[in-house]
Amino acid sequence: MGLPRDGRNGRTDRLSQAEFISYEPATGVELWRGKAGDVDATVDRARRAFPAWASQPLATRIELCRRFANEVRKGQDKLAELIARETGKPLWEARTEVESVIAKVDISVTAYAERTGQKKLDSALQGTAAVRHKPHGVMVVLGPYNFPAHLPNGHIVPALIAGNTVVFKPSEKTPAVGEFLVGCFHRAGIPAAVVQLLIGGPTEGQALVAHADVDGVLFTGSARAGIAINRKLASNPGKIVALEMGGNNPIIVLDTPKVTDAAALIVQSAFTSAGQRCTAARRLIVKASMYDAVVDEVKNIADRIIFDEPFADPAPFMGCVIDNEAADQLGESFLYLLSHGGKAIKHMSRPDEGKPFVSPALIDVTALDEKPDVELFGPLLQVVKVDDFDAALAEANNTRFGLSASLIGGTPQDYNKFWAGIRAGIVNWNRPTNGASSKAPFGGIGLSGNHRPAAFYAADYCAYPVASTEMDQPRASVGVGLRAERRRKRRTAKDDEQTAVAKKSD
């Protein structure tokens, strides 16, 4: 893992095989340092803790998770400040993330009851047919840096409610938030071995994925890392794997009189969280008749966006990206698109080369013969002009990803066509591509996921169904395929005596 060019800003640096150090991306100030965890010892503790945790009544596990929500609530200001400092996102956005962490518990309780409920069908002769669910065992949660509390929490809480033990490895870029989150679980009374923090980078992550005593891997991150996990475990069908990856998400604009509203939705989709959301709009596909009005208004709003450090006054719309390496890559991507036929609508600027702040950028890529099908994880929006709806839909589906897609404008009939024809797991109309509800499933197809959606459907991959038929006493007979039974006289003691006398006389 290389250093950023200034050696500090926005990076968690591995100082040795045993220690990491995290800096605030917006300031370069050291925030946290700690040692890498022992994978084997951590997994072993989780394995030994599993039977006792799984045998706890469901009501007990739920109550402890609710206590966790209360612990987060008690420390929500401190956690929000920590998230803002370690990610560089504005404080207002960090506060909404903390609120999502708290709300996740009740949502997960409801989801577990709905998605994994027990069923019984009674029959006098056949006994009882039952469906119940069991936890998998030791679950590894690999967290991202963009929502370092909310997204891993969305795996951890459902896993705990189901009866699994959890080893949580936060992103090496946000270890301080991970440590705080796990501390809340422990202060709530959940045993230390049931939820464990494992500090580490790719080496520790790979070791956790491959560990023989790990029963499941719950991952949120890039498609590249997710594909590597999938490939590693392809020959091991016994290990549950949920991959929540990124997107090259389209937002289509058809005819609408509400140009300003459309532009606001586009800006929210593309530039919230400095574009560091897996559901962020990466491609704006505009019908030619709407192009000039919509693009001009998007640029007008983007030009006014305040991007600054998390605690600035006035509050910024967005902060920096996670580190200088990410900022450099975004700048290089903009130049690549520009040099291959792209037309700059709004240039990407870097006010301070020593810090990872980049301005929102817009580039028209209509003329590119081959548009790169990659996730550019930052505030860079590519614009494509098309003649009609059919061309827009074809362009939107011209991707290996399939996470989120939105249609702006059009008629109800247009939306029906869009919903039926678009390849995505989240499909919206006159709403942003991001901001998905935790009360619905969250996931995509293609390179965006492996058909195991998270959020409300996380319960599905945290427990497996067990079908049973049950009777109090054994009762059975074989009624077909047997020869007729020869009836035998029951032998008595007198019969045995007569047989013995006959043998003597012989």
Residue 487 confidence (pLDDT):
66
- Do 279 and 312 belong together in one domain? yes
Find the angle CA(406)-CA(88)-CA(304) to the nearest 5 degrees.
Answer: 60
Identify the CA nearest to 36 among candidates 17, 12, 13.
Answer: 17
Number of domains in the chain: 2
Q: Is the dihedral of CA 321, 322, 327, 330 positive or negative?
A: negative
- The pLDDT value recorded for residue 502 is 61
Domain of 123: which CATH number? 3.40.605.10
On whether residue 498 sits in a domain, the answer given is: no
Relative orientation angle of helices 58-74 and 150-162, to the nearest 10 degrees: 160
- SS3 per-residue string spanning 43-74: HHHHHHHHHHHHCCCHHHHHHHHHHHHHHHHH
Check whether residue 195 and residue 329 sit in a common domain: no
Q: What is the DSSP string of 93-131?
A: HHHHHHHHHHHHHHHHHHHHHHHS--EEEEETTTEEEEE
Q: Are residues 351 and 384 in the same domain?
A: yes
CA-CA distance, 500 to 506, in Å (whole number)?
A: 10
Confirm whether 158 is domain-assigned.
Answer: yes
* Contact yes or no for 364/345 (Cβ under 8 A): yes
Does residue 289 sit in the same domain as residue 349? yes
Q: Are 195 and 160 a contacting pair, CB within 8 Å?
A: yes
Q: Do residues 252 and 431 touch, judged by C-beta distance below 8 A?
A: no
Q: Identify whether 60 is part of a domain.
A: yes
3-state SS of 173-224 is CCHHHHHHHHHHHHHCCCCCCCEEECCCCHHHHHHHHHCCCCCEEEEECCHH
Residue 104 lies in a domain: yes
Residue 145: name the closest of 73, 69, 225, 241 by CA: 225
Q: Report pLDDT for 126.
A: 75
Which ranges of the chain have pLDDT less than 70?
Answer: 1-17, 123-125, 487-506
Q: What DSSP character marks residue 340?
A: T
pLDDT at residue 488, as a whole number: 61
Sheet with strand 19-23: strands edge to edge = 12-14, 19-23, 30-35
Pair (255, 238) in one structural domain:
no
Is 44 part of a structural domain of the chain?
yes
DSSP-assigned states of every residue in 394-435 = HHHT-SS--SEEEEESS-HHHHHHHHHH---SEEEESS-SS-
Residues 237 and 287 in one domain: no
Q: What per-residue confidence (pLDDT) applies to 317?
A: 98
Q: Based on the domain organization, do 253 and 127 belong to the same domain?
A: no
CA distance 307 to 327: 14
Q: Looking at residue 18, what is its pLDDT?
A: 78
Rounded-to-integer distance, Cα 61 and Cα 312, Å: 41
Is residue 216 domain-shared with residue 310, that is, in the same domain? Answer: no
Note if 462 is an active site residue.
Answer: no
- List the structure tokens of 37: 């965890």
First to last CA, the chain: 97
One domain, residues 316 and 226: no
Q: How far is residue 339's CA from residue 499's CA, in Å, rounded to a whole number?
A: 109
CB atoms inside a 10 Å sphere around CB 321:
30
Half-sphere exposure in the Cβ direction for 479 (13 Å, CA): 3
In degrees, rounded to 5, the angle at the alpha carbon of residue 302 between the alpha carbons of residues 300 and 308 is: 140
Choose among 147, 149, 209: nearest CA to 179: 149
* Containing structural domain, residue 123: 12-245+455-466
Q: Which of 60, 100, 62, 63 is nearest to 80 (CA)?
A: 100
CB contact set of 144 (below 8 Å; sequence gap of 6+): 151, 152, 171, 220, 221
In a domain, 481, yes or no: no
pLDDT of residue 5: 33
Q: Is 332 a catalytic residue?
A: no
**CA-CA distance, 185 to 176, in Å (whole number)?**
15
Q: Looking at the structure, tell me whether residues 220 and 335 fall in a common domain.
A: no
Residue with tokens 């604009």: 253
Find the catalytic residue in 65, 278, 320, 462. Answer: 278
Q: How far apart are CA 463 and CA 134, in angstroms?
A: 5
502 part of a folded domain: no
User: Within this chain, do residues 32 and 177 fall inside the same structural domain, yes or no?
Assistant: yes
Per the CB < 8 A criterion, the answer to whether 398 and 365 are in contact is no
pLDDT in tens, 357-387: 999 999 999 999 999 999 999 999 999 999 9
pLDDT of residue 65: 98
- Rounded distance between C-alpha atoms, residue 136 and residue 50, angstroms: 10
Do 259 and 380 belong together in one domain?
A: yes
Tokens of 281: 């709009």
Distance in angstroms (rounded) separating the CA atoms of residues 421 and 190: 46
**Does residue 4 fall inside a structural domain?**
no
At residue 12, the pLDDT reads: 59
CATH number at residue 401: 3.40.309.10
Three-state secondary structure of 300-333: HHHHHCCECCCCCCCCCCECCCCCHHHHHHHHHH
Q: Which of 71, 204, 244, 395 is catalytic?
A: 244
